[in-house]
Chains A and B, each alone.
Chain A
Amino acid sequence: SQTIHQWPATLVQPVGSPLSLECTVEGTSNPNLYWYRQAAGRGLQLLFYSVGIGQISSEVPQNLSASRPQDRQFILSSKKLLLSDSGFYLCAWSVGGSSYNEQFFGPGTRLTVL
């Protein structure tokens, strides 16, 4: 069966520090991968999605970036964190090429920027 992992589970970082969040998927090949952010009291905002290795689409301009160095690995990064980057970051995957859009979510990373 397929599983999705995210780490770390929680992170507290100072403003201006770098960020690296990792997401890996097991049990499937060539998945579509997604990064969402959920700010306090708000819904989910799609940040990036990827349909293949090295292919990244950005939905919202910001100081974050994403990379997909391997088929089932998706990394969210920042060179300098802002206070507004605080939130709950969710990684998700879906069957590559499917038009049904059903996405499966990881457990999330709680990021607090101080």
Chain B
Amino acid sequence: AQSVTQPDIHITVSEGASLELRCNYSYGATPYLFWYVQSPGQGLQLLLKYFSGDTLVQGIKGFEAEFKRSQSSFNLRKPSVHWSDAAEYFCAVGAGANNLFFGTGTRLTVIP
């Protein structure tokens, strides 16, 4: 069965520090992988996606993620965090034509 695990419920980083949010997935075939961001009280915005090809994908707002098949991971990174990056981040795996499985999310707090 498909599943997504985000092991960190809450992460706090200082502004300007680097960031890595972890995501592990379970899926029998080649996955479609996504990272979404949700600001408080808002819908979800797509940050980046991986379908195939280059395993390092670039997204909006300076984010990137690397697909590692051997580790079943798709970790999100940013070299220098801004205060506006404080939000909740969701990793998701696409399975089949209509299914998108989400992790439970990681809440990011940015300290000035």
* A interface list, Cβ under 8 A from B: 32, 34, 42-44, 46, 49, 51, 57, 90, 92, 94, 97-108, 110
Which chain B residues in 27-41 approach chain A with CB under 8 Å?
32, 34, 36, 41
Interface membership of chain B positions 29-60, coded 1 if the CB is closer than 8 angstroms to chain A and 0 otherwise: 00010101000011111100101000000000
* Contact (A49, B44) CB under 8 Å given A43-B103, A100-B32: no
Apart from A101-B100, A102-B94: 13 A-B pairs, beta carbons within 8 A: A42-B104, A44-B90, A49-B98, A90-B43, A92-B44, A97-B97, A99-B96, A100-B51, A100-B94, A101-B99, A102-B46, A102-B49, A107-B42
A contact residues around B74 at 8 Å (CB): none
B contact residues around A110 at 8 Å (CB): 41
**What CA separation (Å) do A94 and B45 show in the bound complex?**
13
B25 to chain A, nearest CB (A): 13
Number of inter-chain CB pairs below 8 Å: 56
B102 and A43 within 8 A (CB): yes
**What CA separation (Å) do A82 and B43 show in the bound complex?**
24
Closest-by-CB residue of A relative to B6 is: A43
Enumerate 12 A-B pairs (CB-CB under 8 Å) in ascending A order: A32-B98, A43-B90, A43-B105, A97-B97, A99-B32, A100-B32, A101-B94, A101-B95, A101-B98, A101-B100, A105-B45, A108-B41
Among A92, A100, A101, residue most surrounded by chain B Cβ atoms (within 10 Å): A101
A contact residues around B49 at 8 Å (CB): 100, 102
B34 and A98 within 8 A (CB): no
Q: When A and B form their complex, which 5 residue pairs have the shortest distance between CB atoms, in order from nearest?
A: A101-B94, A43-B104, A105-B43, A105-B44, A44-B102
Interface membership of chain B positions 82-112, coded 1 if the CB is closer than 8 angstroms to chain A and 0 otherwise: 0000000010001111111011110000000
**What CA separation (Å) do A100 and B98 show in the bound complex?**
9
